[in-house]
Amino acid sequence: MNQLQYESSPYLRQHADNPVDWLPWSEEMLARARRENRPIVLSIGYSTCHWCHVMERESFRDEDVAAFMNEHFINVKVDREERPDLDQLYLEAVQLLSRSSGWPLNVFLTPEGKPFYGGTYFPPEPSGRQLSWFQALQYALYNFRENRQAVERQGDRILQTIAQGIQGSNDPRIPVSLDPILSRFDEVHGGFGDAPKFPDFLPL
């Protein structure tokens, strides 16, 4: 059993016996990701989502897939009905990254929570141009390790686009719980944080 066994959400508890070492979203989780310098797998769904159950059965119960996820990633499960704020933020991110949306929503994040790759349902085997879930894991990990500056730029630009949209809309659905991520937007120099920014070469 993983840490989801202690959660109140029925959706999260459905994943409590997965071999994936799922964690709930928390500041402690983000601190651990930063401390260990590991990318985050964020998987968002809800209890009546058909494809969420399919992917759970096909991929998250696979011992080999789980072992790879546990070794290389911080793995996080979120119930969209419990955290609509995170769902909205990362749904918009995946729409910008892949032109797709829906659930399960699977997003790869830097240790700071910046999205750099994602999609919805990934099959256990590649299909046409669609990567399998294991291939998606390998792709995200390779880019996080070998193309870190590009990954950071991608994440910065995605969050910048979302932050500017939020500032323009005054959307009351965006709660202060997103402040730790979105408040780092540098309105003067662009990007997130105070560190020097790299030129932006990546297309969306």
Cβ contact 65:134 at 8 Å: yes
Any idea of the CA torsion for 185, 187, 193, 198, to the nearest 10 degrees? 110
Q: What is the pLDDT of residues 67-85, one digit of tens each?
A: 999 999 999 999 999 999 9
For 135-156, b/e burial (b = at least 16 CB within 10 A) is ebbeebbebbeeeeeebbbbbb
Give dist(CA 180, CA 165) in Å, integer: 17
Give dist(CA 96, CA 160) in Å, integer: 11
Cβ-based neighbour number of residue 129 at 10 Å: 5
pLDDT at 177 over 50: no
Any idea of the CA torsion for 183, 173, 79, 145, to the nearest 10 degrees? -30
Q: In what side-by-side order are the strands of the sheet with 40-45? A: 23-24, 74-79, 40-45, 105-109, 115-119
The answer to whether the predicted template modeling score (pTM) of the entire model surpasses 0.75 is yes
pLDDT at 37 over 70: yes
Beta bridge partners of 23: 76
**Alpha helices per DSSP H over the chain:** 10-13, 27-36, 50-55, 63-72, 84-98, 133-146, 148-169, 179-182
Q: Which fold has domain 3-147?
A: Glutaredoxin (3.40.30)
Q: What is the pLDDT of residues 120-174, one digit of tens each?
A: 999 999 999 899 999 999 999 999 999 999 999 999 999 999 988 865 555 544 4
Residue among 104, 169, 96 nearest 133 (CA): 104
* DSSP symbol at 197: P
Cis bond upstream, residue 104 (ω within 30): yes
Tell me the domain boundaries of the chain. 3-147
Cβ contact 104:45 at 8 Å: yes
For the chain, give percent helix, strand, coil, nearest 5: 50, 15, 40
- Tokens representing residue 39 in the block: 């990318």
pLDDT at 44 over 90: yes
